[in-house]
């Protein structure tokens, strides 16, 4: 009874102060609060029954839980208001374009999602009435972002990674694979990166055994660009689960990585817990993540995924020219685990400061064309020395 009364009060307040959408002047009442209040109602009813039946111990326990839940509910409400004002700073940012209207991102069982084939779309980021960028994305028939094809190219260069490889926020000719192909025309470049990918998608993609039929060239190399958030994605923590849950889940069984399906299907209880907690104002306002801190085991696990991908590459392409590029600003806790596994590392962690305005898109974290140019220039020199 009490939860329904509370919902009625919220609706009435919304009627008087808002638009009857479950919000009071724009402050949302998330499901976590309703869950708390439902439990509160059940315990209150339980306490009343216990009082009338003179079960004082159970009544005292119920009263203690009611008090605790009341405090939690108040904290949720206060942080909800604080979160509203905090989010007003980012509420002026809008993403728009045919990227959304033409369904550029498509579901795919093995990888979770992938880009559409043979598409040209635009994605624009707007702050108020001012456009920060309006980028053109074009994919080929194999869902790779297009790269230049030189008549002199006889080797291949495969690029793996996330949006930092795909080139979110920049045009086709401003991505790292494109710029590298322009620097060294002896290579034909292939962009297999995509937004929100991690090393587990790279491994899953290689395990399809399709790349050796899609890549042309007598000899070449593969480079995977690592950024810090890849660790979070590959373990599907709470900060990434909303979009990473459909991605490939790998588990270490007898020192071998085994594909178990998607995170959602492999860990349903964890997914449900994250889904509930992600609606908490407290968790959102203080940016609370689970796990609270990435451990050495998490970094070790990611290094194992990258190692498995490098072995798959070597098996299919007949060489060991697989490199791990550490993007500027990388958490160097990953380095000893990469070195322990004998992986070839291109340490660009100190090449420049990614926080510098020239190297990141305004109001965004993604690299600019200037950042890609610097990396492409250094990569072209390093590859000549190492191959």
pLDDT at 25: 39
pTM equals: 0.86
- Please give the full DSSP string across 33-95, using - where no structure is assigned: HHHHHHHHHHHHHHHHHHHHTT-HHHHHHHHHHHHHHHHHHHHHHHHHHHHHHHHTTTTTEEE
Q: Is the pLDDT of residue 46 over 80?
A: no
What CATH class is the domain 93-386? alpha beta
Give percent of the chain above pLDDT 90: 68
Q: 48: Cβ–Cβ under 8 A, 6 or more apart, which residues?
A: none
| pLDDT tens digit sequence for 109-151 | 999 999 999 999 999 999 988 999 999 999 999 999 999 888 8
CA-only gyration radius of the chain, Å: 25
């Amino acid at each position: 009874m009490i939860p329904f009364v509370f919902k009625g009060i919220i609706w009435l307040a919304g009627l008087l102060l808002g638009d009857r959408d479950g919000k009071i002047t724009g402050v949302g009442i998330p499901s976590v609060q309703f869950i708390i209040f439902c439990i509160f109602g059940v315990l209150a009813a339980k306490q009343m029954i216990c009082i009338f039946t003179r079960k004082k111990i159970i009544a005292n326990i119920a009263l203690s839980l009611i008090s605790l839940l009341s405090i939690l509910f108040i904290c949720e409400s206060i942080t909800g208001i604080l979160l509203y004002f905090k989010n007003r700073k980012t509420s002026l940012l809008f993403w728009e374009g045919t990227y959304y209207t033409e369904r550029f991102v498509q579901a795919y069982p093995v990888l979770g999602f992938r880009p559409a084939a043979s598409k040209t779309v635009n994605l624009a980021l707007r702050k108020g009435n001012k456009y920060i960028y309006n980028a053109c994305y074009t994919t080929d028939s194999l869902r790779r972002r297009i790269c230049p094809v030189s008549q002199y190219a006889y080797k291949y260069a495969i690029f793996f990674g996330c949006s930092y490889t795909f080139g979110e926020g920049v045009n086709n000719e401003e991505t790292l694979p494109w710029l590298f192909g322009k620097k060294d025309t002896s290579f034909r470049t292939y962009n297999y990166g995509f937004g929100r990918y991690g090393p587990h998608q790279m491994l899953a993609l290689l395990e399809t055994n399709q790349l050796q039929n899609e890549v042309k060239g007598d000899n070449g190399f593969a480079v995977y660009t690592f950024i810090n958030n890849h660790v979070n994605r590959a373990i599907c923590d709470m900060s990434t689960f909303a979009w990473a849950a459909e991605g490939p889940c790998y588990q270490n069984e007898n020192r071998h990585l085994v594909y178990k399906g998607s995170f959602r299907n492999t860990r349903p209880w964890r997914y449900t817990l994250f889904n509930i907690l992600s609606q908490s104002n407290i968790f959102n306002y203080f940016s609370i993540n689970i796990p609270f801190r990435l451990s050495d085991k998490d970094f070790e696990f990611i290094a194992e995924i990258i190692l498995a991908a490098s072995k798959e590459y070597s098996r299919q392409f007949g060489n060991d020219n697989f490199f791990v590029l550490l993007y500027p600003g990388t958490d160097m806790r990953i380095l000893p685990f990469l070195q322990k596994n004998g992986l070839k590392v291109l340490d660009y962690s100190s090449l420049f400061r990614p926080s510098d305005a020239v190297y990141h898109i305004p109001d965004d974290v993604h690299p600019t064309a200037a950042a890609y140019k610097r990396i492409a220039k250094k990569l072209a020199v390093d590859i000549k020395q190492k191959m």
